[in-house]
Amino acid sequence: MADLEQTEYLYEPWDANWDDGPLGNYRIRKHPITRKTPKRIYFKRDGRRLAFVDRVRIEADGEIFYRPIARTLYLVPPKLPGKAKPSLPELRKAMADAHPDRGGSTAEFIAARKRYEAAKGTAPAP
């Protein structure tokens, strides 16, 4: 049995909702590297199109902005950004909606208030 070569990839963080602004539903797209020359790294984009990046720049920085897709490509999988934290107005609305006078429970209201106060920085000392 022949030795199988380990496939190398270029990595791209990708969010399915990129056009409407990233919603934090990121995943990593892997673009297989097909060939390396002294000046370029060739890879398959979208599984079929052959593309290339500047090898010297990507190996020096570990990343490169690839203009045709307007995204950054990485040599190693990047750490994905977390979801955006809710804003104070959103937390205040959630707290108001959880109030017992508006159909919420006491436990839900207390939890929502703790989240709001922690975000605001006024959480009482334990």
Indicate if 53 and 92 belong to the same structural domain: no
- pLDDT value for 91: 85
In the three-class reduction of DSSP (H, G, I as helix; E, B as strand; rest coil), residue 29 is classed as: strand
Burial class (CB in 10 A: 0-12, 13-18, 19+), 64: buried
Indicate if 64 and 107 belong to the same structural domain: no
Please check whether residue 2 lies inside any domain of the structure: no
Whole-angstrom distance, CA of residue 58 vs CA of residue 35: 15
Indicate if 62 and 99 belong to the same structural domain: no
* Tokens linked to 56: 């010297």
What is the residue range of 114's domain? 88-120
Indicate if 15 and 65 belong to the same structural domain: yes
Q: Is the pLDDT of residue 88 over 90?
A: no
Indicate if 102 and 69 belong to the same structural domain: no
Model-wide pTM > 0.75:
no
Indicate if 55 and 99 belong to the same structural domain: no
Number of domains present in the structure of the chain? 2
Please check whether residue 1 lies inside any domain of the structure: no
Angle between helical axes of 106-120 and 88-97 (0-180°, round to 10): 170
Instruction: Quickly state the pLDDT bin for 20 (edges 50, 70, 90).
Output: low
Mean pLDDT for the stretch of residues 86-107: 86
Instruction: Quickly state the pLDDT bin for 24 (edges 50, 70, 90).
Output: low
Indicate if 19 and 51 belong to the same structural domain: yes
